[in-house]
Homo-oligomer: A and B are copies of this chain.
Amino acid sequence: MDNRQQLLDSALALFSQRGYDAVGVREIVEAVGVTKPTLYHYFDSKRGLLDALLQRESGHLLTEVLQAAVYHGDLVLTLENIVRAYFRIAQKASAYYRMQLTMYFSPPESEGNQAIRPFTTQQREILEDVFIRAAEDHGNLRGRHSRYAAGLLGVVNATIGLYFNDALALNEEIVYQVVHQFMYGIFS
């Protein structure tokens, strides 16, 4: 079963560097030092390999975000925990996060986008739930949970983008600033 994991690792590295479409199965197997039938022994197809990869990798992200996204009345605290979780994953599993980001913004009819959609949907729903629950305490949030979830994820991903381009370090200060601006605006 070791080759199976190595194939997933190889696919992750290559997909995140150059993209799903631009990487051939030949390259994936050569990086591991095996041949194509080995890959097709473990996976039905290139797409099946991608699905298995997303399954394996998104698990970590989901558990971390789910742990962080418990709301007990303090929205700022909850959002800080969520942003911290995202930053942690972007650092710890940077190859995967890069790839997820790429596939999320891939064209709707591309294989990459279709493969990632269920996982990103799940992640968005977790965030939306936080804002829905928070709206029970803060009525003026009501009905805007989609926009808030998308907006927070937008700044989080933009910030992670800066980190990926070495323009930023993802430290506690940035967590505070991102959440604080989201909650209280730019001047605070």
Contact = CB atoms under 8 A, between A and B. Distances in A.
Q: How large is the interface on A (under 10, 10 to 19, 20 to 34, 35 or more residues)?
A: 35 or more
B159 A150 contact: yes
A188 interface: yes
A109 interface: yes
A104 interface: yes
A183 interface: yes
A154 to B, nearest CB: 3
A92 B168 CA distance: 34
Given A17-B107, A110-B19, A155-B155, A162 B185 contact: no
18 contacts: A15-B107, A16-B107, A18-B110, A19-B107, A19-B110, A19-B112, A102-B105, A138-B187, A141-B186, A146-B168, A147-B174, A147-B177, A150-B159, A150-B162, A155-B158, A183-B186, A183-B187, A184-B185
Interface of A: 15-19, 21-22, 98-99, 101-102, 104-112, 138, 140-141, 146-148, 150-151, 153-159, 161-162, 167-168, 174, 177-178, 181-188
